[in-house]
Structure 1
């Protein structure tokens, strides 16, 4: 069974001034991640505004990332959508492009209400790509609040290609329970950047996050300090992480994160509506504020 390792970047989707996807920026993004010792890329997730893209745009993004990063980065395609038919199309493309895994959020309008319904949905979403490991994307934003230990224990044996969970939730109690579900069989990958050190303490070995795109050095330093027992460095650098997340939250979340990519010399453009629309001056100010934070 696949076990992910290290820092995996939840990639932004670059948009041009006219609002179209800027596919030509992706090779530069892949080069930047590889240079920062990132181990993988999560394509078209929430950070990548996947649900704001058309199926065809998502297919082209999957192609562009495969071409730019295959052999250098583990490729994980987020294929979640409101329609299971759309998921199937995206899953088959992930298989064709030889992605390493795929991941699906739950539906966010007609929601599964219990662990059986969630398992039935995930089985239907995963069966169109039986060749690939499947990661359920557990996120607070979906409104589906089912404990992941319960899900993994119930889904065990019912979803043949279930590999684990992308865990984007503040509930570290449930996270630890999920890590140990079914004897630790499943891969539970942590996705809340501001709780990075806490997840390390609970034993996780893989993380998927948006801030690794432009501040991976900070997390590598925290991980190294954690393993060395250098708690002062862990504390100081986690404070920087939290201040950086505060900067994101105050300035539009994904919109601000895309602005911070200017630190890498990468212009990801604006986010799509309904996300906050930042002016060029605001984007520059946000990136400069993050730069000062990283230099402290």
Structure 2
């Protein structure tokens, strides 16, 4: 079974929350239009950026249904659902729900509490989830900085070579040797999606064609300019644009981590609320200081734009 190799920027959307910390799916249709209008070719929902580990299975099902409903007629915009990692039965249940809803693909990441002892165990889990949804692509999500499971992905590809709908890997790690080996494995059979926005340029150099990232939500034009500069052999410009990305991402570390992404979203006109505990959110004072730092980046020059026909409240 051969699946399409995805290209371009696939955003990892934030899960919108209301003032009480409940999910606010009413803005998702407009959120989708916003991503589409800024060049994103898909959405990787309920992942790290989407607080998947902090959502109930029923909330994930509802989010999946809303994304599916508003994108069902858009074959050029691919939605992928991260089904989770720690509870195999829940992963299978969510994968089946995603397939029924019409989602393009599902993804799975390693358990992070009881961890697989070796690649063979991890492959066995992938095999069981993929077998439950044989008609759609299955991706593994490699993010060892969060799972603390860092097996070489080339070993995983060798172990799942008998899984017909294993389509590829969302690769959120810095091992370019392993990424290249996976990209060229069996004449490029598998779709390798890059997952480190701050390392986009070196990923392009080793052959990345598609990427999944949180900053594509609010700075997609920056990365398309970077890609264009690379493809036109203007490496100096590509380096400068990558540095802008690095400077932008460094503010996440300065102001508290992953939750800062929702602060960036407010600056492009989309209020996704706050992150759930245990993630900390900015104080109002920190947000004001953050806005000053963002202005120094020249953010308005490369941010994603909320076009007039999109209304997000």
Question: Using the alignment, how far apart are the partners of 1:162 and 1:51 within structure 2?
Answer: 23
Match of 2:213 in 1: 209
TM-score (norm 1): 0.96
Structure with greater helix percent: 1
Q: Which runs of 5+ in 2 are unaligned?
A: 302-313
Q: What residue is the counterpart of 2:139 in the other structure?
A: 135
Deviates more, 1:210-219 or 1:74-83: 74-83
Over 3 Å counting, the alpha-carbon distance change for 1:156 and 1:291 in structure 2 is farther
**Residues 42 and 254 from structure 1, CA distance in 2 versus in 1: closer, same or farther, beyond 3 angstroms?**
same
Distance in 2 (alpha carbons) for counterparts of 1:32 and 1:280: 26
Give the deviation of 1:287 after TM superposition. 4.6
Alignment of 1:83-94 (within 5 A): 83-94=87-98
Instruction: Structure 1 unaligned segments of length 5 or more: list them.
Output: none
Q: Is the 8 A contact 1:261 1:287 kept in 2?
A: no
Contact 1:108 1:142 in 2 (8 A): yes
Secondary structure of the residue aligned to 1:42 is strand
Shift in alpha-carbon separation, 1:160–1:291, aligned structure 2, 3 A: farther
Aligned residues: 295
Inter-partner Cα distance in structure 2 for 1:114 and 1:182: 23
| Cα deviation 1:262-283 (Å, max 9, x = unaligned) | 1221001111111112224433
Question: Which segment is superposed worse, 179-188 or 214-223?
Answer: 179-188
Q: CA deviation at 1:126?
A: 1.8
Partner of 2:27: 25
TM-score (norm 2): 0.91
Matched residue SS, 1:242: helix
Equivalent residue for 1:46? 48
Helix, strand or coil: the match of 1:108? Answer: coil
Question: 1:235 aligned to 2:233?
Answer: no
Return the alpha-carbon distance in structure 2 between the equivalents of residues 23 and 173 of structure 1.
40
Q: 2: CA distance between counterparts of 1:99 and 1:8? A: 14
CA contact (8 A) 2:85 2:112 kept: no
1:153 equivalent in structure 2: 158
1:111 maps to what in 2? 115
Query: 1:14: which partner in 2?
Result: 16
3-state SS of paired residue (1:136): strand
User: 3-state DSSP class of the match of 2:277?
Assistant: coil
Q: Using the alignment, how far apart are the partners of 2:97 and 2:89 within structure 1?
A: 13
CA contact (8 A) 2:260 2:281 kept: no
**Structure 2 residue 126 is the aligned partner of structure 1 residue 125:** no
- Structure 1: how far apart are the matches of 2:293 and 2:50? 22
Q: How far apart, CA to CA, are the structure 1 residues paired with 2:288 and 2:92?
A: 40
- Gap change, CA 1:166 and 1:128, over 3 Å in 2: same
- Once the two structures are superposed, what CA deviation does each residue of 1:40-75 show, in whole Å capped at 9, x if it has no partner? 000100110011000000011111111223334211
Q: Hey, what does 1:190 align to over in structure 2? A: 194
Per-residue deviation, 1:288: 5.1
SS in structure 2 of the partner of residue 254 of structure 1: coil
Shift of 1:26: 1.1
Indicate if the aligned counterparts of 2:45 and 2:79 stay in contact, CA closer than 8 A: yes
Report the secondary structure of 1:189's partner residue: strand
